[in-house]
Structure 1
Amino acid sequence: MPRLHSLIAGLVVLGAFVPPPLHEHPSGSTDRVTPAAVRVEAVARVSITLYDDRGVIRRVRREYEVPIGEGSGFTVTPDGAVVTATGVVKSDRDPRVYAANRVFAEYYKVKVPADHSRHRIRNADLNLRLQRCYPPVAEDSLCEAEVTTEVKVFPHETSPAKGLPARILHTGSTPAAAAVLKVTEGAEDETLPTVPLATSLGNVESVDFMTLPERPSLDKPPVLTAVHFDPPGSGTFRKNEAKTIDKVLGRDGDGAAVIDDGTSEVIGLVTGGGGDPVIFTPVEDIRAALVAADVTPRRGRVDVVYETALASYHNKNYTNAIPVLQQVLRLRNTHAVAAAYLQTSQQKAGTAEDSGAAGAQPETTPERSGSFSPWLLAAGGVVVAGLLVAVLVPMALRRRRGRAADETGEPVFAEAAFGEAQAGGSGLGGAGPNPASWPPQAALEYARPAEAQLPLGITPVPAPVAGGAVPDPQAADAPPPGGTTMRFCTRCGMRLGHAHRFCGFCGHPVESP
Structure 2
Amino acid sequence: MPSLHSLIAGLGALGMLSLPLHPHPSGSTDRVTPGAVRVESTSHVSITLLDDRSVIQQIVREYDTDLADGSGFTVTPDGVVVTATGVVQSSRDPRVYAANKVFAEYFKVKIPADFSRHSLDDADLNRRLQACYPPQGPNSTCIATVTTNVTVFPYLDPPLPDGLPAQILTTGTSPAAPAVLKVTKGGEKQTLPTVPMGVSLGQSVVALDVISFAGRPSAKQPAKAETAHLDPPGTRTFKQEDRDKLAKLLKDGASGGALIDDNKSEVVGLLAGDSSTPLTITPVEEIRTSLVAAGVTPRRGPVDVVYESALASYHNKLYAGAVPVLLQVLNLRPDHAVALDHLKVARSKAGTAEDTGNRPSPSAGPAEKRSSGVSPLLWVGGGAVVVIVIAAVAMPALLRRRRSGAGQPAPAPDGSWEPGRHEDGHQEAARQDAVPVSSWPPARTQVFEAHPFDAPSFDVPVAATPAPGTPEVPERAQDARPVEVRPLDVRPPGDPSPPRGQAQLKFCTQCGMRLGQGHRFCGFCGHPADSR
Q: How far apart are residue 66 of structure 1 and its match?
A: 2.2
1:42–1:88 CA contact under 8 A, matched in 2: yes
Measured against aligned partners, the alpha-carbon deviations of 1:474-501 in whole angstroms (never above 9, x if no partner) come to xxxxxxxxxxxxxxxxxxxxxxxxxxxx
Show the 5 A alignment for 1:267-346. 267-272=268-273, 277-346=278-347
Provide the residue aligned with 1:495 in structure 2: none
- Percent identity between matched residues is 54
2:258–2:269 CA contact under 8 A, matched in 1: yes
Provide the residue aligned with 1:356 in structure 2: 357
Unaligned runs of 5+ residues in structure 1 are 395-513
TM-score normalised to structure 1 length: 0.68
Which protein has the larger Cα radius of gyration, Structure 1 or Structure 2? 2
What CA distance in whole angstroms lies between the structure 1 residues aligned with 2:151 and 2:296? 19
1:251–1:274 CA contact under 8 A, matched in 2: no
1:246–1:275 CA contact under 8 A, matched in 2: no
Q: How far apart are residue 130 of structure 1 and its match?
A: 1.5
What CA distance in whole angstroms lies between the structure 2 residues aligned with 1:331 and 1:374? 45
Provide the residue aligned with 1:170 in structure 2: 170
CA RMSD in angstroms, aligned pairs only: 3.6
1:47–1:145 CA contact under 8 A, matched in 2: yes
Provide the residue aligned with 1:436 in structure 2: none
**SS of match in other structure, 1:30:** coil
Show the 5 A alignment for 1:46-65. 46-65=45-64
Q: How far apart are residue 163 of structure 1 and its match?
A: 0.9
Inter-CA distance 128–258: structure 2 relative to 1 (3 Å threshold)? same
Corresponding letter in the other structure for 1:156: Y
Measured against aligned partners, the alpha-carbon deviations of 1:145-178 in whole angstroms (never above 9, x if no partner) come to 1211100000011123111111111111110111
Q: How far apart are residue 116 of structure 1 and its match?
A: 2.3
Inter-CA distance 204–284: structure 2 relative to 1 (3 Å threshold)? same
Q: How many residues align?
A: 383
2:28–2:260 CA contact under 8 A, matched in 1: no
TM-score normalised to structure 2 length: 0.65
Inter-CA distance 20–142: structure 2 relative to 1 (3 Å threshold)? same
**SS of match in other structure, 1:356:** helix
What CA distance in whole angstroms lies between the structure 2 residues aligned with 1:49 and 1:132? 13
2:99–2:132 CA contact under 8 A, matched in 1: yes
Inter-CA distance 188–372: structure 2 relative to 1 (3 Å threshold)? closer
Show the 5 A alignment for 1:91-102. 91-102=90-101
The reply to whether residue 194 of structure 1 matches residue 194 of structure 2 is yes
What CA distance in whole angstroms lies between the structure 2 residues aligned with 1:274 and 1:135? 22
What CA distance in whole angstroms lies between the structure 2 residues aligned with 1:280 and 1:387? 49
Measured against aligned partners, the alpha-carbon deviations of 1:319-357 in whole angstroms (never above 9, x if no partner) come to 111111011111111110000001111111122222234
Inter-CA distance 217–364: structure 2 relative to 1 (3 Å threshold)? farther
Provide the residue aligned with 1:228 in structure 2: 229
Q: How far apart are residue 23 of structure 1 and its match?
A: 11
Measured against aligned partners, the alpha-carbon deviations of 1:7-39 in whole angstroms (never above 9, x if no partner) come to 99xx99xxxx99999998958431000000000
Inter-CA distance 368–37: structure 2 relative to 1 (3 Å threshold)? farther
What CA distance in whole angstroms lies between the structure 1 residues aligned with 2:386 and 2:326? 34
Q: How far apart are residue 370 of structure 1 and its match?
A: 8.7
Provide the residue aligned with 1:37 in structure 2: 36
Corresponding letter in the other structure for 1:309: A
Q: How far apart are residue 237 of structure 1 and its match?
A: 0.7
Provide the residue aligned with 2:243 in structure 1: 242
**SS of match in other structure, 1:31:** coil
Provide the residue aligned with 1:416 in structure 2: none
1:272–1:278 CA contact under 8 A, matched in 2: yes
**SS of match in other structure, 2:188:** coil
Show the 5 A alignment for 1:433-512. none
What CA distance in whole angstroms lies between the structure 2 residues aligned with 1:24 and 1:387? 27
Measured against aligned partners, the alpha-carbon deviations of 1:265-298 in whole angstroms (never above 9, x if no partner) come to 0110111267952111111111111111111001
**SS of match in other structure, 2:30:** helix
2:154–2:217 CA contact under 8 A, matched in 1: yes
What CA distance in whole angstroms lies between the structure 1 residues aligned with 2:316 and 2:336? 21
2:199–2:284 CA contact under 8 A, matched in 1: yes
Inter-CA distance 367–63: structure 2 relative to 1 (3 Å threshold)? farther
Unaligned runs of 5+ residues in structure 2 are 394-532
Measured against aligned partners, the alpha-carbon deviations of 1:404-454 in whole angstroms (never above 9, x if no partner) come to xxxxxxxxxxxxxxxxxxxxxxxxxxxxxxxxxxxxxxxxxxxxxxxxxxx
2:80–2:180 CA contact under 8 A, matched in 1: yes
**SS of match in other structure, 2:166:** strand
**SS of match in other structure, 1:329:** helix
Deviates more, 1:305-314 or 1:209-218: 209-218
1:38–1:75 CA contact under 8 A, matched in 2: yes
Higher relative contact order at CA 8 Å, sep ≥6: structure 1 or structure 2? Answer: 1
Measured against aligned partners, the alpha-carbon deviations of 1:343-384 in whole angstroms (never above 9, x if no partner) come to 111111122222234xx3147999997997999334224246
